[in-house]
Amino acid sequence: MKKYRALRFVSALYKVLGILTVIGGVVWAVYTIYLGTQVSAEWGSLLLSAAGPLVGGIISGMVLYAFGQLLELLMDLVH
């Protein structure tokens, strides 16, 4: 277990970054909608402009988290 300490840290880091990326995507989408309401934009345009950061953040966060899980799974399989 001791020889995989750095790899466990990297795995946990990827998981945390994945979670933060999803949260950041949601916050950015909400902020985009908020800014659009300040300039009286149409709701359809607001939702479409917020969909990009939301979907991108969710997909990127899922990939980062899955890579962290994969590293952890590979360490468990080797040990």
Dihedral of alpha carbons 14, 20, 23, 29, sign:
negative
CA distance 2 to 8: 10
C-alpha to C-alpha distances, 48 to 5, 18, 64, nearest whole angstrom = 43, 23, 25
Q: What is the mean pLDDT of the chain?
A: 91
CA distance 39 to 36: 5
Label residue 1 by pLDDT band (50, 70, 90): low
Token readout for 75 is 């360490």
Query: What pTM does this model have?
Result: 0.84
As a whole-number percent, the residues of the chain with pLDDT over 70 amount to 97
